[in-house]
């Protein structure tokens, strides 16, 4: 094998492979914007040769076994595979999770001179999952060489996201991030997903409320996607479903009318429950209207417990984002 492409979702990996742009294309789909980040041990094991890593904790788990067998990639570690390639390219979209995977990869490869020398980056203007084989075959995003200053910036940003508070990540927005041109937008997108300083909700949750406000809205009308009204790209399908659950299935809901839940694989596997879910007619409750108007704090009536990077957010330890002033607000 001589040509390798790494990307961040399986559908675009298949499209790139069909377009004949590489000998093998591997998707790295680890979600970094949702739930706790991998531990130090899991981080070290993720790109290592495959041995006993659990499902989802190795970089090859999202690539079909037949593709790995055909390319003789089975069980390889990333650095080992890069050493066998003549060239390797990172095809990375602008969505926050893809950018975080890019930071992780550059941090890893930055300490391996031979591996870093094989890599170049191609930044996509849109989400990779929105393109098909025909479009990929015609695309020729400019090649960006991974110079030492780019690798150092990626390392700084990756460490900032893995810090126990968002402060170091916030400090990035005043830094010169031009060496990684999508990082500035990613930094702001993720900060906007912190609980708002007045309403206690992140930007995606607030966009969901805005779309429900007219009333009689179906659940999938508020999900993001290609040519959808919800233009937020921080979270994927399952994560947005969980956010909608959190707004509707809580002690004092902001949303009423959600007929089924929680938004899990079990719900999708039950045709009757899934049909009821899709047919739900959503409305804002009095709390939802007040939160949307900036008059109430969602967290004043409901428990908050989620992760932002390596920061654990709870009602008692709630880092907030002031969008108007672009300020990070520490817990009281």
- Residue 7's CB is within 10 A of a number of other CB atoms, namely 29
195 in a structural domain = no
Tell whether 248 and 104 lie within a shared domain.
no
The reported pLDDT for the residue numbered 229 is 85
Q: Which of 237, 275, 209 is nearest to 127 (CA)?
A: 237
What is the pTM (predicted TM-score) of this model? Answer: 0.93
Cα separation of 118 and 86, whole Å?
7
Q: What is the mean pLDDT of each run of 10 residues along the chain (332 residues)?
A: 86 82 89 95 91 84 80 84 89 95 94 84 72 65 90 97 97 95 95 97 97 95 86 94 98 97 97 97 98 96 96 96 96 90
Same domain? 15 vs 156: yes
Segment (H or E) for 255: strand 255-256
Residues 111 and 17 occupy one common structural domain:
yes
Going by the DSSP 8-state scheme, the letter that residue 177 receives in this structure is -
In the chain, count H helices and then E strands: 16, 11
Residue 308 covered by a domain: no
What's the pLDDT score for residue 116?
A: 80
Residue 266 is encoded by which pair of tokens?
């079990």
Looking at the structure, tell me whether residues 25 and 123 fall in a common domain.
Answer: yes
CATH of the domain at 87: 3.40.50
In this structure, the answer to whether residues 259 and 128 fall within a common structural domain is no
154 and 16 both lie in a single domain: yes
Query: Under a CB-based contact definition with an 8 Å cutoff, are residues 183 and 157 in contact?
Result: yes
Domain count for the chain, please give it. 2
Provide the token pair at 267. Answer: 């719900």
- Write down which residue in 101, 129, 161 finishes a domain: 161
Same-domain check for residues 157 and 12? yes
Same domain, 153 and 21: yes
Report yes or no on 190 lying in a domain.
no
In our burial notation (b when 16+ CB lie closer than 10 A, e otherwise), range 244-280 reads bbbbbebeebbbbbbebbebeeebeeeeeeeeebeeb
Question: What pLDDT score does 185 carry?
Answer: 95
Query: What is the helix, strand, coil percentage profile of the chain, to 5?
Result: 40, 15, 45
Question: CA-CA distance, 122 to 312, in Å (whole number)?
Answer: 33
Residue 225 lies in domain = 203-303
DSSP at 236? -
Q: Are the C-beta atoms of residues 303 and 315 closer than 8 Å to each other?
A: yes
Query: Do 82 and 150 belong to one domain?
Result: yes
pLDDT of residue 62: 83
Three-state DSSP at 124 gives: coil
**Residues 155 and 291 grouped into a single domain:** no
Give the Cα separation of 57 and 238 in Å (integer): 18
Residues 144 and 214 placed together within one structural domain of the fold:
no
314, part of any domain: no
């Amino acid at each position: 094998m001589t040509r390798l492409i790494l990307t961040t979702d399986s559908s675009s990996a298949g499209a790139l492979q069909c377009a004949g742009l590489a000998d093998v294309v591997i998707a790295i789909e680890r979600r970094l914007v949702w739930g706790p980040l991998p531990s130090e041990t899991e981080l070290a094991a993720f790109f290592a040769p495959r041995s006993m890593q659990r499902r989802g904790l190795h970089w090859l788990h999202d690539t079909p076994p037949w593709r790995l067998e055909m390319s003789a990639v089975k069980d390889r570690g990333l650095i080992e595979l890069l050493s066998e390639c003549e060239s390797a390219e990172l095809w990375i979209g602008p969505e926050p999770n893809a950018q975080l995977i890019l930071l992780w990869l550059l941090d890893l490869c930055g300490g391996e001179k031979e591996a870093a020398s094989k890599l170049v980056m191609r930044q996509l203007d849109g989400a990779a999952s929105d393109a098909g084989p025909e479009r990929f075959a015609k695309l020729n995003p400019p090649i960006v060489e991974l110079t030492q200053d780019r690798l150092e910036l990626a390392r700084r940003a990756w460490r900032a996201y893995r810090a126990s508070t968002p402060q170091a990540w916030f400090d990035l927005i005043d830094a010169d991030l031009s060496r990684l041109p999508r990082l500035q937008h990613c930094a702001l997108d993720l900060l906007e997903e912190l609980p708002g300083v007045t309403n206690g909700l992140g930007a995606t949750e607030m966009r969901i409320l805005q779309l429900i406000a007219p009333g009689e809205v179906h659940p999938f009308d508020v999900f993001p996607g290609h040519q959808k009204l919800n233009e937020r790209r921080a979270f994927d399908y399952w994560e947005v479903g969980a956010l909608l659950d959190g707004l509707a299935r809580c002690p004092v809901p902001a949303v009423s009318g959600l007929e089924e839940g929680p938004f899990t694989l079990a719900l999708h596997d039950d045709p009757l429950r899934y049909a009821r879910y899709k047919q739900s007619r959503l409305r804002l409750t009095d709390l939802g209207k007040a939160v949307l108007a900036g008059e109430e704090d969602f967290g004043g009536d409901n428990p908050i417990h989620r992760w932002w990077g390596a920061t654990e957010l709870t009602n008692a330890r709630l880092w907030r984002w002031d969008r108007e002033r672009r300020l990070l607000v520490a817990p009281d």
